[in-house]
């Protein structure tokens, strides 16, 4: 029985924030905590350089009221298509998933908006493990938080 799955989600952000969002997620992920501290408390570089394949990042986050740690390795950066792909290589998420890959893609929609599209590809360790929908909701909300912060909207 295959427990491999894919979950996709997207959210609109203002076009003026799309480059800023991509730059923060790709090259300055430690700044995510400034806009979305209720979700991401910190992101530290453990190996390599921010924004380059092979870089290893450690994320401290809160999901459903529980503190967690996630270690990721950047697999792919495509500046032309504004896409970053990270593979989870350690942390709490590995308790439930054999493999988990996050792909973030920023796509222009029209003159005023862009779409932040997230794709999670994962394999559960056993039946009954919940879908990572809470994580999806949180990364989408963080994109909106970065958009709002970029435009000076305080929450």
Question: Mean pLDDT for the chain?
Answer: 93
Of the candidates 147, 118, 135, the residue with the CA atom closest to the CA atom of residue 35: 147
Question: Tokens at residue 109, please?
Answer: 């929609």
Q: What is the pLDDT of residue 15?
A: 81
The answer as to whether 94 is a domain residue is yes
The answer as to whether 30 is a domain residue is yes
The answer as to whether 27 is a domain residue is yes
* pLDDT at residue 151 greater than cutoff 80: no
Count of domains for the chain: 1
pLDDT per position as a tens digit, 45-92: 999 999 999 999 999 999 999 999 999 999 999 999 999 999 999 999
The position carrying tokens 């300055």 is 28
Q: Residue 119 maps to which CATH number? A: 3.30.530.20
Q: What is the pLDDT of residue 91?
A: 97
The answer as to whether 155 is a domain residue is no
Q: What is the pLDDT of residue 68?
A: 96
CA distances from 40 to 5, 108, 109 (A): 25, 25, 27
Expressed in percent and rounded to 5, the helix, strand and coil fractions of the chain are 25, 45, 25
The answer as to whether 133 is a domain residue is yes
Q: What is the pLDDT of residue 154?
A: 66
pTM summary value: 0.92
The answer as to whether 100 is a domain residue is yes
The answer as to whether 56 is a domain residue is yes
The position carrying tokens 């394949």 is 53
Rounded Cα distance, 48 and 54, in Å: 6
Q: What is the pLDDT of residue 149?
A: 83
């Amino acid at each position: 029985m295959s427990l491999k799955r894919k979950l996709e989600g997207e959210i609109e952000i203002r076009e003026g924030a799309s480059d800023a969002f991509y730059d923060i997620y790709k090259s300055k992920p430690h700044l995510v905590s400034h806009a979305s501290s209720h979700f991401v408390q910190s992101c530290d570089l453990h190996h390599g350089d921010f924004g380059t394949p092979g870089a290893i990042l450690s994320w401290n986050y809160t999901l459903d009221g529980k503190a967690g740690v996630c270690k990721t390795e950047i697999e792919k950066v495509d500046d032309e298509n504004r896409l970053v792909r990270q593979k989870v290589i350690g942390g709490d998420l590995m308790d439930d998933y054999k493999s988990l890959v996050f792909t973030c893609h920023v796509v222009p929609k029209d003159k005023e908006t862009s779409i932040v599209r997230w794709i999670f590809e994962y394999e559960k360790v056993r039946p009954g493990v919940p879908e990572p929908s809470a994580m999806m909701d949180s990364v989408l909300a963080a994109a909106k938080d970065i958009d709002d912060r970029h435009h000076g909207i305080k929450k």
